[in-house]
Amino acid sequence: MLAMLIYYLITINVLTFIVYGVDKWKAHRGRWRVPEATLLGLTALGGSVGAWLAMQLFRHKTQKKKFRYGVPAIFVLQLVALLLFLSMLTQH
């Protein structure tokens, strides 16, 4: 079960990182953009680390408050959930 969680988190974070990068690329070229709801949705589904790394590397969405504060807040919530999950695993 833990291995599946690790694979999931790696996959969702790589995917989130790529989607943020594609959105930045499209922004520079005046093309159709990835909806903010999609970006935040991927973040909420476990991709907060990938989102934060992409924001820093690509300088993308760093001025928007819902991303500047939302992504770290989602990360903290996910970290707490992960720690609770791991503590439940170790109790059994």
Whole-number Å distance between alpha carbons of 76 and 92: 25
Q: Which domain holds residue 24?
A: 2-91
Tens-digit pLDDT profile for residues 13-62: 999 999 999 999 999 999 999 999 999 999 999 999 999 999 999 999 99
Tens-digit pLDDT profile for residues 63-86: 999 999 999 999 999 999 999 999
Q: 90 pLDDT band (50/70/90 cuts)?
A: confident
Which pLDDT does position 16 carry in this prediction? Answer: 98
What is the tally of structural domains in the chain?
A: 1
Whether the per-residue pLDDT at 4 is higher than 80: the answer is: yes
Which pLDDT does position 91 carry in this prediction? Answer: 87
Whole-number Å distance between alpha carbons of 16 and 88: 28
